[in-house]
Amino acid sequence: MRILGIETSCDETGVAIYDDEKGLLAHQLYSQVKLHADYGGVVPELASRDHVKKTIPLIKATLAEAGLTPSDLDGVAYTAGPGLVGALLVGATIGRSLAYAWNLPAVAVHHMEGHLLAPMLEDTPPPFPFIALLVSGGHTLLVEVKAIGEYQILGESIDDAAGEAFDKTAKLMGLDYPGGPLLSKLAEKGDSARFTFPRPMTTVPGLDFSFSGLKTFTANTIAANDNDDQTRADIARAFEDAVVDTLAIKCKRALKQCHMKRLVIAGGVSANRHLRVKLEALMTSLGGEVYYPRTEFCTDNGAMIAYAGMQRLKNGEHNDLGVKGFPRWPIDQLMTIKS
Ligand code: KG4
Ligand code: ZN
């Protein structure tokens, strides 16, 4: 079985074809970063308009890359949420319409389930059960994963998501959008010992996160110090250390609470090198393992949507003729797939 996956929930147009037996056959990505850079963040209307322009050409290019025609496909999966409603509706309308025209089932995919399952595309996929730390621009979630769709949310951010905190702090520091990777690069030259930022909500019980205070702490530290290159790098380092440490403390707590030794990290921030190193050290100390997607599949992409869509299609899940778009869609409302 082969499925086409379409991702348009935010500022990346992603398209991929996944084959149940052969794995990923082709994938293409168009990033809108340049389009939004002047505005310092994603402009939803511009994002939607650009998806309108890019999605069909990208689908054609992906089919060509795989050497396939629509008649070789068995389904069309598209991201139905959560995300920006206009952007979602572009992928959903195109995906649903192509499925109708090609007489194929259409599958509405949950974007965060796509992220959660992205490590399954790697050579050594994580076996169930595991704890998943999902860290993207829109969400920070700690999830107990017993099977595909059997998700219990253990904790989430009560304000900014981890990626959002990176981006907003980077903006404060005068870095371009999207600031996360740039802030992380700046932090590499920073000295960890110079500033110590708080580790929010780690001294209280529970698995929720709060990152918005770190932004204010960064602003105050910038105001109280010189603006030379080393100081900027030291501040970036202190911020990154605080986010990474906080995430690691909560992962350790979640693993202990659920008596597990397997951790999956996914979503844009899982590309962060410092976070990976920290969580690898944590899992070594606990005698467990950590799994994550290859860097290009940490951030938004069509491959994860095609993979998640394939699992849902094989489970007999596909939609009626409605175009599905859910800007808010809790991940624990998905159907469990019993193996
Ligand atoms: O998963 P994603 O592509 O989009 C959403 O679903 O939101 O995540 C994008 C987020 C952005 O906030 C970006 O700054 C952050 O992931 N990000 C990083 C890194 N690479 C991407 N944050 C920190 N360090 C990185 N290396
Ligand atoms: Zn995402």
Q: What is the pLDDT of residues 317-331, one digit of tens each?
A: 999 999 999 999 999
Taking the C-alpha atoms of residue 214 and residue 222, their distance in angstroms, rounded to an integer, is 12
Q: Is 97 annotated as a binding residue?
A: no
With a 6 A CB cut-off, is 181 part of the ligand 1 pocket?
yes
Q: Is 111 annotated as a binding residue?
A: yes
Q: In the chain, what percentage of residues exceed pLDDT 70? A: 100
Q: What is the pLDDT of residue 225?
A: 98
Ligand 1 centroid from CA 274, angstroms = 14
Q: What is the pLDDT of residues 3-20, one digit of tens each?
A: 999 999 999 999 999 999
Angle (CA) 16 21 26, round 5°: 20
Q: What is the pLDDT of residues 118-131, one digit of tens each?
A: 999 999 999 999 99
Q: Is 328 exposed, middle or buried (0-12, 13-18, 19+ CB in 10 A)?
A: exposed
Counting from 1 in the atom list of ligand 1, the atom nearest the Cα of 162 is 12
Q: In the chain, what percentage of residues exceed pLDDT 90? A: 99
> pLDDT at residue 302 above 90?
yes
Counting from 1 in the atom list of ligand 1, the atom nearest the Cα of 163 is 12
With a 6 A CB cut-off, is 14 part of the ligand 1 pocket?
no
Average pLDDT, integer, range 29-40: 95
Average pLDDT, integer, range 48-75: 98
Check if 2-117+297-333 and 126-292 are the same fold.
yes
Assess contact for 270 and 292: CB atoms under 8 A. Answer: yes
Nearest residue by C-alpha to atom 16 in ligand 1 = 268
Chain-centroid distance, C-alpha 282 = 22
Ligand 1 centroid from CA 64, angstroms = 29
Q: What is the pTM of this model?
A: 0.98
The answer for 124, left when phi > 0, alpha when psi is -120 to 50, beta otherwise, is: beta
Crossing angle of helices 273-286 and 229-257, in 10° steps, is 40
Ligand nearest to the CA of 240: 1
Ligand 2 centroid from CA 298, angstroms = 8
With a 6 A CB cut-off, is 119 part of the ligand 1 pocket?
no
Q: Which of 33, 246, 299, 304 is the pocket-test mutation for ligand 1 (most atoms within 8 Å of CB)?
A: 299
Q: What is the pLDDT of residue 338?
A: 86
Q: 143 in helix, strand or coil?
A: strand
> pLDDT at residue 339 above 80?
no
Please name the amino acid found at residue 257: Q
Ligand 2 centroid from CA 172, angstroms = 23
> pLDDT at residue 50 above 80?
yes
Q: Is 134 annotated as a binding residue?
A: yes
Q: What is the pLDDT of residues 222-259, one digit of tens each?
A: 999 999 999 999 999 999 999 999 999 999 999 999 99
With a 6 A CB cut-off, is 3 part of the ligand 1 pocket?
no
* Mode of pairing for the β-strands spanning 2-7 and 75-81: parallel
> pLDDT at residue 77 above 80?
yes
With a 6 A CB cut-off, is 267 part of the ligand 1 pocket?
yes
With a 6 A CB cut-off, is 301 part of the ligand 1 pocket?
no
With a 6 A CB cut-off, is 272 part of the ligand 1 pocket?
yes
Q: Is 180 annotated as a binding residue?
A: yes
- Tell me 209's DSSP state: B
With a 6 A CB cut-off, is 208 part of the ligand 1 pocket?
no
Taking the C-alpha atoms of residue 314 and residue 327, their distance in angstroms, rounded to an integer, is 25
The domain over range 2-117+297-333 is classified in CATH as 3.30.420.40: yes
Q: Is 50 annotated as a binding residue?
A: no
Average pLDDT, integer, range 267-293: 98
Q: What is the pLDDT of residue 326?
A: 97
Query: Please, which residues have CB less than 5 A from ligand 2, an ion?
Result: 136, 300
* Neighbouring-strand partners of residue 291: 264
Average pLDDT, integer, range 105-133: 98
State the CATH class of domain 126-292: alpha beta
- Give residue limits of the domains in the chain: 2-117+297-333, 126-292
Chain-centroid distance, C-alpha 63 = 25
Average pLDDT, integer, range 44-64: 98
Confidence band of 269 (pLDDT split at 50, 70, 90): very high
> pLDDT at residue 215 above 90?
yes
